[in-house]
Amino acid sequence: MRIEKVKDGIKFTVKVQPKSSRAEIAGIQGEYLKVKVTAAPTRGEANKECIKVLSSWLGVKASQVEIERGKTSRIKRVKVKGDPEKLIHNFNINI
């Protein structure tokens, strides 16, 4: 899995599994961080829950997490704003 450091945060790719029994980070699956959400993929509900799960997991505010690409796809490019070194540290500790 590749984590890209940018000036104001990090970027990585997630694979979202909607309508799961639990909302959780399910580990690394190939090139993606797998995120399970209980919401259905309608009206952006799964995206909102994905942001909530990621923000809680990384210890940041939900407003710091943004889906840059893939809003209607299970594969999403995510940007998390903040100190890149701290975010990568949190990412590696939690995986």
* pLDDT tens digits, 55-92: 999 999 999 999 999 999 999 999 999 999 999 999 98
Dihedral (Cα; 84, 30, 16, 3), 10-degree rounding: 10
Report the pLDDT averaged over residues 2-9.
95
**Does 95 have pLDDT greater than 80?**
no
The partner residues of 68 in beta bridges, in order of sequence, read none
Instruction: Tell me the one-letter amino acid at 88.
Output: I
The pLDDT > 70 percentage for the chain reads 100
Q: Which phi and psi (to 5°) does residue 23 adopt? A: -95, 115
pLDDT at residue 94, as a whole number: 84
Percent of the chain with pLDDT over 90: 94
pLDDT at position 93, please?
85
